[in-house]
Chain A
Amino acid sequence: MYATSDISPFVQRSQDTADFFVGMRNAYTAARRSLGHFAGGALAIVVAPIAVGFMWIFLRNQRDKLKKLLSTNVDLSNYQKTRIEYDRLNAIFKGIGDPNFDKVIPRTPWLLRGILRLMGDILQLVRQRRDAIGYALAQLDATAPHTDLLKPIAEAELWEHRTKAYDYRF
């Protein structure tokens, strides 16, 4: 676990959105599984439009705020903080599963399509930031001097082996 102060507002908001999305998806799946055909239909008519409306407003708000917070400029001078951010962004995709919404949307009930589109936009923003950090980290490996004898240890390997709670001293 990392300290909360290590998390940037962009990551915090992305993670909140992902958690919200996963929670709602699980609730939807559970409701469909446990309710009978009639009760499921009644739920879809009475509750779903309100819930979907609420979700749509929430997700649109999150998307707009994330758009403002997004930066593809990566400053590695605080390497530890940036690396933690990269791990957190990757964890979001692990949780959601990096779905291809373009393929999923045509097979989804029309009421939910707007939600998925917004979620697709949000994941695209998260992906942009993650890829920008990934590129900057890859540059660390690419620019490390090397010879036939001296092969630099990859940045990812060094990060993986260390105790994450420690701060770098040098």
Chain B
Amino acid sequence: MSQRLEGEPYQKVHRFTFRCKKNQRYVILLEEYERDFFGVKFYPNGLAESEKRFQQLTNSYDAPAIINTSLEVMGYKLKENPKASFGFTGAPLESEKNEKGKPTKRFRVYKRIMENLFSPERFAHYQLEQSSIYLLINRNAEDPQELANWATEMLRQNYEF
């Protein structure tokens, strides 16, 4: 499902839902920004209303399936739009809340996956460890340098560096 939104930094949000073992439902959000840039997020559907939906652990050991499905969604978007670039943050666990400025556990896991699956020939990789942000800028983007400038501006507006 795709939805156009007013008052958000992104132009559109694509919503994908799926079920894991124990029938638990998850939501993957692909936030579409300008310049073919997509933010990837996911959370358990049961926590949709919670402020901690991106942080909380469900302890249902569904991470491999969720990450794999997120990658499928990214691949689907890339097929549809070969110029697509991506970004995400590794949300802190409850126990990491007070460790500001350190890369989170989730970030370290996702980073490893990006290094293994996204070719440097197709994507330029960026990590902002202190904020646990990872960006993949598509080298085939309309103007990759312009996209990097725009991403920098957007990050500065939303995060402290």
Contacts and interface: CB of A to CB of B under 8 A. Distances in A.
Nearest to B126: A150
B121 A153 contact: no
A158 B152 contact: no
A151 B133 CA distance: 12
Nearest to B145: A145
A147 interface: yes
A158 to B, nearest CB: 5
Nearest to B161: A149
Nearest to A169: B117
A156 to B, nearest CB: 9
B125 A153 contact: yes
A163 B156 CA distance: 33
Nearest to A156: B120
Interface residues of A, number: 26
Interface stretch (B14-22, B41-49, B71-79, B90-98): B71-79
B35 to A, nearest CB: 12
Interface string B120-135: 1111111110000001
A77 B122 CA distance: 9
Interface string A153-168: 1010011011100101
Contact of A155 (B78, B120, B148): B120
Band of interface residues on B? 20 to 34
B63 interface: no
B97 to A, nearest CB: 24
A39 interface: no
A166 B112 CA distance: 12
Given A169-B75, A169-B118, A170-B78, 6 more contacts: A145-B137, A145-B149, A147-B152, A150-B152, A153-B126, A168-B119
24 contacts: A77-B121, A79-B120, A79-B121, A144-B124, A144-B137, A145-B124, A145-B148, A145-B149, A146-B148, A147-B148, A147-B151, A149-B156, A150-B126, A150-B135, A150-B152, A152-B124, A153-B127, A155-B120, A158-B115, A159-B120, A163-B116, A170-B117, A170-B119, A170-B122
